[in-house]
Every structure is written in structure tokens, then in C-alpha cells.
Amino acid sequence: MSFDPGRAAILALHWQVNVIKPEGFFGGMLSEPAARSGVIGRAARFHTEARDAGLPVFFTRFVIPEGEGGLVRNTDFMRAVGDAQEAFRPTAPGAQLIPEMLPLAERDRVTDNQKLSGFAGGDLPDILTAQGIDTVFITGVATNLTVEQTARHGTELGFTVHPVSDCVTAATEEAHRGSLANLDLVTAGCRTAAQVLELARA
């Protein structure tokens, strides 16, 4: 793998209280696996080191504004969050980025939408294209949800997409590994944080 660091970026997906922390809406499903895997610390270090190496970091949040914005209740997932939308208001505690990500997020761009894919329902693709970015490295939770959806979507949009395999996780190891196997086939391939940083610094 090789890439031009001047044309690459990190997409940090759904590092939110609602997804990662026990008190969040999905905490019962994802907080324990995320904590056990150590993915939060690894991803936070990766984001910081990648930015220091010159790669911009774009955070995405799933939020539901008054009036529901671009939310479409066409899946059980979207119906569930729509029914609990007060927990996903942009200013709600659960919608905020987790403390481990805040120091970096305060210096980088955060985009909000009402879709599972970070590329859908917002201006993120246009922002990246305007900055000459054609390669993205994806981190986030969960591997088989927002990570896989965003990676497939980005690939179809023409971006070269690499999920960062040790900076993503899912509710179960089986779901995580199965999703990574899928992503190796339908993207430019999974990479580790160390592999990305080595090339970015070269």
C-alpha cells in the first residue's frame, strides 16, 4: 500500500457517548466490548499521531435535530433511534463525542447527519473532494454498522477506503471479524494503525 499523505484523511465515526459509554443509548450492546477491546485508547492515539503526521481527522456524529432532519425510518435501527430521538438531539449528553476524543475533535471538523453512513445526508464528500482528498482511513464503532456502511458508500463514491482494523470494534468478535473479512473484499483493504502511520511519516 502507498498513498499521498497530502490527499488522505482519517474518518472517525460515531465516537459518541450514545455508542461507546454505558450510559449511552447503545451502551448495553457496545460499551463493554469497546472497553474490553481497548479500541478507544488505540483510536485516540492513532488520531493524534495521524494528525501530527499531517493527516486531517474528520469526526462524524449521529444526531437527530428537531423535525428529524434527514432521518428516514426505513429500518428497525432507524425506527428505534427515531422513537428515542430526544437522546440524539445535537446538544444531548449522549450525542457528544466521548472525552477521549474531544481534545483532537476541538481542532478538527465534526459533521453531523441522520444516516448510518458518514458519507450520506451531509456535505462530507464535497468537503473532502474540495480539499483534494481521495483516500480515507476509517475508525469507529461498530465495525459491522457505521464502519462497514461508510466504507462501502465511500468506495462507491470513488474514494480509496481503508478501514483501520485495530481502531474499530463490534458487539461481538464474530461480527467484528466477519465485517473485516467483508471489508477486505469490497474496499482497498484493511490496514493497521501502525501500517498507516509508517507510510504517513515516510
For residues 58-62, give the mean pLDDT. Answer: 96
Question: Which of 65, 162, 47, 160 has its CA nearest to residue 109?
Answer: 47
Class of domain 5-60+97-201: alpha beta
pLDDT digits (tens, 9 = 90+) for 93-122: 999 999 999 887 766 689 999 999 999 999
pLDDT digits (tens, 9 = 90+) for 120-169: 999 999 999 999 999 999 999 999 999 999 999 999 999 999 999 999 99
Q: Where are the domains of the chain?
A: 5-60+97-201
Mean pLDDT of the chain: 96
What is the pLDDT confidence band of residue 88, given thresholds at 50, 70 and 90?
Answer: very high
pLDDT digits (tens, 9 = 90+) for 2-15: 889 899 999 999 99
